[in-house]
Amino acid sequence: MKFAAFSGVFIDYSIQQAMSISKELGFDGIEIACREPHLSPSTSRQRVEEIKHLASKLDLEIPALAGYMGHFSTSSDKECEKALQEFKQLVKWADILGADMVRVFPGGPNAFLAEDYHYEKAAFWLKKCVEEAKPYSIKVVMEIHNLSLIETVEQSKKLLNMVGHHDDIGVIHDAGNMYITDTSYNRDSILHLENHLFHFHVKDVKRVEKSVAPGTFTNLTKNGDEHFMQCLLGEGEVDHQPLFDTLNEMGYNRWITLECAAPYPPKERMEADFQKVKAMINTNSYS
């Protein structure tokens, strides 16, 4: 397995600093959050080339660009076209940076509130994204995410089947998000995604009574408004051990991105999570 740091954890630093810290911590790569001051559709080509040069100098790969555009299902056609143009630009940046995945959000509302027309509209525009990315051999990825059309494996497969192009569009498995949604994120969730599964995000959270402390937030789930705390890996309620056991069993040798958002200094929380992940990889709960 190869591990990337999520640059969004270091969003208060420059992208150059984020890359240097990621390398110092021992990561193989960095998944770049496509927000300034790191990267965006409006970033100059010169800056993108500078990022590429530094990545090469640090021997740090860039497996994916984490775009924030899309939200097609609830946007106007004009807004969708704007998002598509932003996606096209990120595809060009991904091509320069050697990233083979660009993240897009399909939109909301929560899947349990969505109607068929939400999926149909999202699928229409996602097909356009696939068509734009395909000539560059870049894959479109959507994150299984609360507050979206794809909160579960089943909903993800529903939307992917509507889009088609299964070799060119897939999902990011995120056990933390799936815990928030209150859906299964264990071994079967990985196996049932089959060839739709392109990438993994790892973070820990837990349910709390109120969202007032640092690192807490409120989210609408099928259970109503719930409160959550972002935690260091192993200190929350998301059991990632079955995930790593399954990946070991599968011989998974691709990317996993760590994106801890616990209320600690960025370098400290990323180092703690990385050490925890390495311990879990070396532990087989079925042995």
| pLDDT tens digits in sequence order for the chain, 287 residues long | 999 999 999 999 999 999 999 999 999 999 999 999 999 999 999 999 999 999 999 999 999 999 999 999 999 999 999 999 999 999 999 999 999 999 999 999 999 999 999 999 999 999 999 999 999 999 999 999 999 999 999 999 999 999 997 899 999 999 999 999 999 999 999 999 989 999 999 999 999 999 999 999 999 999 999 999 999 999 999 999 999 999 999 999 999 999 999 999 999 999 999 999 999 998 765 43
Distance of CA 180 to the CA centre of its chain: 15
* pLDDT confidence of residue 284: 64
* pLDDT confidence of residue 194: 86
Query: Around Cβ 261, how many Cβ atoms within 10 Å?
Result: 18
Domains in the chain (CATH in brackets) are: 2-205+234-281 (3.20.20.150)
**H or E element at residue 21:** helix 15-24
Please say whether the dihedral angle defined by the alpha carbons of residues 133, 201, 263 and 26, taken in this order, is positive or negative. negative
pTM of this structure: 0.95
- Token reading at 265: 């200094």
**Rounded distance between C-alpha atoms, residue 219 and residue 226, angstroms:** 5
* pLDDT confidence of residue 286: 44
* pLDDT confidence of residue 257: 98
Q: Please check whether residue 100 is in contact with residue 54, taking contact to mean a CB–CB distance below 8 angstroms.
A: no
Query: Around Cβ 237, how many Cβ atoms within 10 Å?
Result: 13
* pLDDT confidence of residue 260: 97
Please say whether the dihedral angle defined by the alpha carbons of residues 68, 69, 74 and 79, taken in this order, is positive or negative. positive
Q: Please check whether residue 235 is in contact with residue 261, taking contact to mean a CB–CB distance below 8 angstroms.
A: no
